[in-house]
Structure 1
Amino acid sequence: MDLQASEFDRLLFFEHTRKTSEANYASNPLDADNLTRWGGALLELSQFQNGPECVKMVTEAISRLDEALEINPRKHDALWCLGNAHTSNAFLAVDQEMAKSSFTKAVEYFRKASEEDPGNELYLKSLEVAAKFSQAPDLHLEIQRQAGSQQAAPAAASTSNTKVAKNKKSSDLKYDICGWVILAVGIVVWVGMAKSHLPPPPPPR
């Protein structure tokens, strides 16, 4: 119940951020900070969507973040968010080649973010985990398989002995998935910090 309430609050916050950013963009389309907030909010909101709607939001987030980088190519938080957007694309991709291409882009953006803000642990962690996925495409396949098996009957959980043999690989996989959970939390923290720069919601009319 608490989790549902907090998720709803999160949804409202990022929706408010998106709308505010959209309004600010109309009056000043060259504000890189605003575009970065907008892209980050869209990325967070995409997690509440399914299928085509999720892909559409991630694509729009990439577009806004690209705009921010056209204005300021060295904006490290926009570079980092773009890395997360390409990571989302990789996880959404069914085709392995597309996933690999997205992970490669994510690595590039995380590397640039780390170069622009040396010593930022979140950026370095993002780079480390993205590099693992880009060098081991079978991990992506394994996640796709696990996502599919979670929707299947629970009986499939203890069928074959090969799962025991893959114990270490499984724990490595859990580590990588935890890495992406850290990134998701990082986005929440980042936009939360940006909240202080947002104007308050307009009063009711």
Structure 2
Amino acid sequence: MDYTPKILVVDDEKDLREILQFNLSSEGFDIDVAASAEEALTMPLEEYHLILLDVMMGGISGYKMADILRKERELDVPIIFLTAKGSENDLLTGFNVGGDDYIVKPFSIKEVVVRIKAILKRGKKTEKPSSLIECDGLMIDLNRKSVSIDDNQIRLTRKEFEILSLLVKSKGKFIARHEILNRIWSDDVIVTERNVDVNIARLRKKIGNYGAAIKGRSGYGYCFDYQN
């Protein structure tokens, strides 16, 4: 891989967290850990390429956390559930709340590594060139829903990605905040123009020097105006 995958391990078993962190780090992954879903939800989850998520934890369960990520946070980061339960109903529940894979305990580290690599590889498939929007070192892949700067992947939320894509495709043209709302947020969601401002503020920070190219103008909205 031409990047170091960043993975978050969420499990309330300290020994298992340490085993996974040590072994996966040895495999070349960048590993962070959280002892609970509550702790994990305070972390910058949009920065991770994959989450290993225990199902049975005190407080917020793995299923509930996955549901929060998919529905409230609108994150599409891949999730592999770790659990001692492997019935058909458990598997269906995991996939229904947005899981990408399911590993039943006890498991071997080799199995975990193989599953991780298989999921990460899915996002590396070659897409048609027409799906790409390029601006100097900034590249937006509309098919893979990914953004990279100088070949380094940038983790954005779904709304941040859609806003950036909209602005860059309309380079140099101001788009009103209410138009951004109508095009990015569905009609059945109650949001205000402040949501646009908050998402753009976060987006500017994440895309570094390109953030300054997102210009805001009172009464006109926002535009992407990048000069080499």
For normalisation by structure 1, the TM-score amounts to 0.29
| Structure whose residues are more often strand by fraction | 2
Greater share of helix residues, 1 or 2?
Answer: 1
**Which structure is richer in relative contact order (CA contacts within 8 A, separation 6 or more)?**
1
Q: Which structure has the bigger radius of gyration?
A: 2
What's the TM-score, normalizing by structure 2? 0.27
